Amino acid sequence: MCLCLCLLTPLLVLVMGTHLVLGYLEAEWVHRLLLFPVFVIALSSIPKRYLVMRNQWLLILTSSGFITIITTQFNHGENEVWLTVLGSICLIGAHFLSLTLSRHKVTF
């Protein structure tokens, strides 16, 4: 679901590319609305995997992603974009690591 959210927005912009769609996606409430499913998905999957595997990198990536994305709510402009991308990369990395750990049952 998180991957779909991350990939769907740029795809909509490419396909629909109108100012109306871009203006809609830039609205502050849309960002906050999209944060809800991102946090719910991450909080419902990653902590369970951490408790089973006790992998410190999983905790570091998840925490960094959450902190960075929450920080974006207080920064506007160019910093907001870079912080959102950085936080998203951290959360995507945490999901990927969680998936890898669950498939290989690896601990570090």
Domain range summary for the chain, segments of one domain joined by +: 28-104
Say what the pTM is: 0.66
Q: Distance between CA 38 and CA 16 in Å, rounded? A: 23
Q: What is the pLDDT of residues 29-74, one digit of tens each?
A: 777 777 888 888 888 888 888 788 888 898 899 899 989 988 888 8
What is the 3-state secondary structure of 51-70? Answer: HHHCCHHHHHHHHHHHHHHH
Residue 6 has pLDDT above 80, yes or no: no
Q: What is the pLDDT of residue 70?
A: 85
Amino acid at 56: Q
CA 56 vs CA 27, 43, 76: distances in Å: 35, 16, 31
Residue 21 has pLDDT above 60, yes or no: no
2 or 83, which is more confident: 83
Mean of pLDDT values over 12-26: 58
For the chain, the C-alpha Rg in angstroms (whole number) is 15
